[in-house]
Structure 1
Amino acid sequence: MKKQKSKIILQNVLVSDYAAEGKALAKQDGKVIFISGAVPGDVADIFITKNKKDWAEGRVQEIKEYSKERVQPFCKHFGVCGGCKWQMLPYSKQLQYKQQEAEQNLRRIGKVELPQILPIVGADADRYYRNKLEFTFSNKRYLLPEEIGTEDASADTAGALGYHAPRIFDKIINIDECYLMDDVNNLIRNTVREFALQNGYTFYDIRQHTGWLRNIVIRNCTTGELMVNMVLNYEDEAPRKKLLDHILSAVPSITTLLYTINPKWNDSIYDLTPQVYHGKGYALEKLSTGSEAFVFKVSPKSFFQTNTKQAEKLYSITRDFAELTGSETVYDLYCGTGSIGIFVSKLAKKIIGVEVIEEAIVDAKENAALNNINHAEFFAGDVIKICNDDFFAKHGKPDVVITDPPRAGMHDKLVHKLLEIAAPKIVYVSCNTATQARDIALLAEKYTVEKVQPVDMFPHTHHIECVALLKLK
């Protein structure tokens, strides 16, 4: 170990294992070090960013010896863009480490008796798997280390369109090619950037709240429908029409083109109204299982699982875990546009969906009608407030609760409400096994864990979905 101006650099560290959330692990002098940018088997110099008595965090400064597990990343932006941090790992290894993390979180945090955790369900396609991408405009392009101080540094500062640079809120990486979605995403993004620069359109400045172009949101469905939403800082009708007409001309496969005026300081559009410029204003997506197929209307502000093909697997597992016979009342909590409830509906007597976002509930009701499902009801509001005794008295107590909360997990009041309701079965769908484990530990007062199935929705990232079946003791 040597110190450089109070900076700590650990030299020739052997990275021994994978820890969690994309970080690798090493041990030195009895201290555990969590490392960004490394793979088990690497030997590297580690720049320490946080130093505690028993543990430290750091990032790779220089790799001295590459792990035999490494493979060549396929994307030119790898290492700069923070989107697909695991491209240097074979997909089979990614699945192995995700399985390991799911098991460790559920056992260490949950501290409850678990069955043997089923092998993680991998994706058939580890590229072009997303149905939604969002790109950001900025008048500050993130410069690569080799560009700083060169002519390139000043030659291309007119504007960038791409992803946020990791840990830097005001600079954007200019993305030329992204493998997360079908190539249409590259055509749209690069066409818009080129046209904007040619016409002198201003790119957004997040610090000054100036500039015109803010975001592009693309949704590319398995049905062939393509929805694009251009987000602008303010209305400027003539250039807006010119830009939107050019997009339609360059990408005729667009079925719905919208624009949203966002004069706020933040990028969220949940409280804004997208305006339809071309098409019907929404996209149709399809989820299939066996001989069944369900159609879903997805509005520009609705949440829908971003990996359609893996969503089919995730929902099929959820339905299997629910063990439905046709006589059950199923509560679908955090139901979004109703996708899980609708997917399991043909095996249930009644579906009750609850979701806080009102537009999603509007879509959920339309989705039920689209699929000729007459025994599903959907309610907008906070799950904790809606699911009270009067609600259960009116709609019936659930035989099965399916809950699919955000990364933060379930609110503790909802956990206590579920304990009070004491439904025979809970199927817990999670995108964060740490908070899932925490909630399962609380539910252990009345429930045992019968099955656990991790699912990989996002290849080349550290994110993990996991389905758990809990049964009343």
Structure 2
Amino acid sequence: MPRRKNKKQIFESIEVIDAGAKGKAVAKAPDGRVIFISNAVPGDLVDVQTFKKRKAYFEGKAIKFHTLSEKRTEPKCEHFGVCGGCKWQHLDYKHQLEFKEKEVVNNLKRIGHLELPEVTPILGSNKQYFYRNKMEFSFSDSRWLTQEEIASDTTLKDRNALGFHIPGMWDKILDINKCWLQEDPSNAIRNEVKKFAVENELEFFNTRQQTGFLRTMMIRTASTGQIMVVIQFYREEKEKRELLLDHIAKTFPEITSLQYVINEKGNDTIYDQEVICYTGTDHIFEEMEGLKFKINAKSFYQTNSDQAYELYKITRDFANLNKDELVYDLYTGTGTIAQFVSKQSKHVVGVEAVPDAITAAKENAQLNGIENVDFHVGDMKTVFNDRFISEHGKPDVVITDPPRDGMHKDVVAQLLAISPERIVYVSCNSATQARDIALMKDVYQITKSQAVDMFPQTHHVENVVLLEKIK
């Protein structure tokens, strides 16, 4: 099938009126169709050049700014506009929160056709920068070049990069000088690793040709002050590998876990790879209200530790447990929420599809001396059945925190069948949250809803909803 050709159009003096899906700004074309704009904020007056045309909308880019919005602020990051990580840095934080909350409310009302009580205001993050506890960087021998670099010299020799993928370009890496997402020594470690690798002629990876030595680097920083660094090599070269790892360990003695992976696969995921501890321990610890959570290289943990604590407190508050109730924690991950609410519960049953996550959940529960939790592995839509309920008991309260796709319809059907008194639905995608709740609205009503900003400078937002049975 031939590709659909998109004839470019220019619309002049268009007012940007809203923020929409995936953080794009929203305007209206003269014919009434919506225009999604990638580089503007609500309140701007712009000329727009479109690059995609569909029946109901255009996609475009602002090519001239007549008036800048009062909602704007100056981005801190020198890489803003090229790096796709913090697309809302040019939008003042209080307005970021307004549009995130608006999106959640609109999704619940328009997609779910749900009635909402007075919504609790969105909980903003005290840290708007340097809030992430995990960052992953890629090595490349063919870094992204600016138009100025291309125009000035076509024989550039400095093509090595250690940074992030350019949005939509899987083989192009933006070399990062300073990232505003993770606290030091993250930037210092990344820059020193790149500098040392260049000086010692360690080959950076080439994604297209699948050649090179250095592939990726992950840095995890915990609220306890511990630091983990994992270097992924494409092939084993013991002398070169030890040269780099020894330099990292010597230069940054504060690193408590230095590990590496040899990965010769076509992709750089490490979940099916052996992670080898070089110095220190093979894990670090996160801590929350005296609970310790052991984090290894493959562990999932909320990437904003401070806001994860706030999210879990809201979840626990919504659940309103009385110590005599059986709680199910669906999509429990490594069991953080299950353990966080265990003191207020009679018993907690956690279910998760990823075996490694359940192993970690059991280890953490033992580490924390928690005996009133059980964790089980299985695909939620098949394991969460009548037999499972018969074996573990009918829950009084269900907490569910599914992935972005939401809950499978069979899981929703089972929730309706067992009909717990309360359901606390935690979601990173309020659109699928609204869809799922709509399937339950004849039995349950929303009595509380609160958004939580886990990811400042982005359009992403979490939302917590309390569902109670209609009397």
Mark yes or no: TM-score above 0.5.
yes
Offset at residue 165 of structure 1 (A): 0.6
2:107 corresponds in structure 1 to 105
Structure 1 counterpart of 2:222:
221
User: Are 1:366 and 2:363 counterparts?
Assistant: yes
2:325 to 303, 308, 328: 328
Q: Which residue of 2 is the match for residue 281 of structure 1?
A: 282
Moved over 3 A (4+): none
Q: Report the AA paired with residue 167 of structure 2.
A: P
| CA 1:466–1:152: 2 relative to 1, 3 Å | farther
For residues 54 and 198 of structure 1, what CA distance do their matches in structure 2 show? Answer: 53
- Shift in Å at residue 14 of structure 1? 1.4
Contact 1:298/1:337 (8 A) holds in 2:
no
2:26 equivalent to 1:25: yes
Runs of 5+ unmatched residues, structure 2: 1-5
Which blocks of at least 5 consecutive residues in structure 1 are unaligned?
none
Q: For residues 385-427 of structure 1, what are the alpha-carbon distances to aligned partners after superposition, in whole Å with 9 as ceiling and x for unaligned? A: 2222222111111111111111111122211221222111111
For 2:106, the aligned partner's letter is Q
Confirm or deny that 1:397 pairs with 2:394. yes
1:415 aligns with 2:417: no
Percent identity over paired residues = 50
- 1:331-346 matches, within 5 Å, as 331-346=328-343
State the shift of 1:264 in Å. 1.2
| CA gap 1:152/1:421 in 2 versus in 1, 3 angstroms | farther
Show the counterpart of 2:235.
Answer: 234
- Matching of residues 251-270 of structure 1 within 5 Å: 251-270=252-271
Shift of 1:25: 1.0
Task: Give the partner amino acid of 2:315.
Answer: T
2:3 aligns with none
Separation in structure 2 between the aligned mates of residue 93 and residue 160 of structure 1, nearest angstrom: 34
Partner of 1:302: 299
The residue type paired with residue 85 of structure 1 is K
Aligned residue in 2 for 1:375? 372
Output the CA distance in 2 between the equivalents of 1:412 and 1:184.
Answer: 45
| Deviation of the 1:54 alpha carbon | 3.2
Letter of the 1:319 counterpart: R
* Pair 1:129–1:153, CA change in 2 (3 A): farther
What letter corresponds to residue 183 of structure 1 in structure 2?
D
Name the structure 2 match of 1:168.
169
Q: What SS is found at the alignment partner of 1:362?
A: helix
> 1:452 aligned to 449, 452, 461, which one?
449
Shift of 1:187: 1.0
What one-letter code is carried by the residue in structure 1 that aligns with 2:185?
Answer: V
**Deviation of residue 458 (structure 1)?**
0.5
TM superposition shift of 1:266: 1.4
| SS at 2:219 equivalent | strand
Are 2:320 and 1:319 equivalent residues in the alignment?
A: no
The 5-angstrom pairing of residues 195-214 of structure 1 reads 195-214=196-215
CA contact (8 A) 1:353 1:379 kept: yes
Which of the numbers 148, 170, 173 marks the counterpart of 2:150? 148
- What is the letter of the counterpart of residue 215 of structure 1? T
User: Paired residue for 2:429?
Assistant: 432
> 2:14·2:48 contact (CA, 8 Å) conserved in 1?
yes
Q: SS in structure 1 opposite 2:190?
A: helix
Deviation at 1:9, TM superposition (A): 1.9
Counterpart for residue 55 of structure 1: 57
Aligned equivalents of 2:195, 2:69: Cα separation in 1: 40
Aligned-partner residue type, residue 141 of structure 1? R
Shift of 1:454: 0.3
Q: Which of 46, 49, 62 is the equivalent residue of 2:48?
A: 46
TM-score w.r.t. structure 1 length?
0.95
Q: CA deviation at 1:139?
A: 1.5
- Distance in 2, Cα, partners of 1:310 & 1:390: 36
Report the alpha carbon displacement of residue 282 of structure 1 after superposing the two structures with TM: 0.7
1:282-311 Cα deviation digits (max 9, x unpaired): 1100123xxxx2110011101000001000
Q: 2-side partners of 1:335 and 1:221: how far apart?
A: 21
Return the offset for 1:445.
Answer: 3.4
In structure 2, the partner of 1:78 is 80
Is 1:122 the counterpart of 2:124 in the alignment? yes
CA gap of 1:439–1:131, structure 2 versus 1, over 3 A, is same
Q: Deviations over 1:327-359 (max 9, x none)?
A: 111111111111101111100010111111211
CA drift at 1:181: 0.8
Deviates most, 43-52 or 462-471: 43-52
| Higher alpha-carbon deviation: 368-377 or 379-388 | 379-388
Which deviates more, 234-243 or 43-52? Answer: 43-52
Instruction: Name the CA distance, whole Å, in 2 between partners of 1:151 and 1:250.
Output: 35
Residue 463 (structure 2) pairs with residue 466 (structure 1): yes
Partner of 1:72, secondary structure, is: coil
Letter in 1 for 2:397: V
Q: 2:8, 2:52 within 8 Å by CA — same for their partners in 1? A: no
| Distance of 2:409 and 2:448 partners within structure 1 | 23
CA distance in 2 between partners of 1:344 and 1:256 (Å): 29
Deviations 1:28-61 (A, max 9, x none): 2222211111111112221212212332121222
- Paired with 2:248 and 2:12, the residues of 1 have a C-alpha distance of 51
Aligned residues of 2:11 and 2:29 also touching (Cα < 8 A): no
Match of 1:348 in 2: 345
Number of aligned residues = 464
Structure 1 residue 19, shift from structure 2 partner:
2.1
Deviations 1:142-168 (A, max 9, x none): 1122222213871421x1110111111
> What value does the CA root-mean-square deviation take over the aligned residues?
1.4
Q: Is the 8 A contact 1:354 1:381 kept in 2?
A: yes
User: Displacement of 1:472 after TM fit?
Assistant: 2.1
Partners of 2:319 and 2:281 lie apart in 1 by: 36
Task: Give the Cα separation in 2 of the matches to 1:356 and 1:257.
Answer: 28
Find out whether 1:87 has 2:89 as its counterpart: yes
Give 1:322 deviation, angstroms.
0.4
Q: Deviations for 1:71-118, whole angstroms, at most 9, x for unmatched residues?
A: 111111111111111111111111011111111111111112221221
Of 136, 139, 148, which residue of structure 2 is paired with 1:137?
A: 139
Name the aligned partner's letter for residue 416 of structure 1: A
Alpha-carbon offset, residue 436 of structure 1: 0.7
Q: Residues 153 and 377 (structure 1 numbering): CA distance in 2 closer, same or farther, change over 3 Å?
A: farther
Report which stretch shifted further, 191-200 or 319-328: 191-200
SS at match of 1:173: strand
Report if the CA contact (8 A) 2:7-2:52 is conserved.
Answer: no
Q: d(CA) in 2 for partners of 1:264 and 1:399?
A: 46
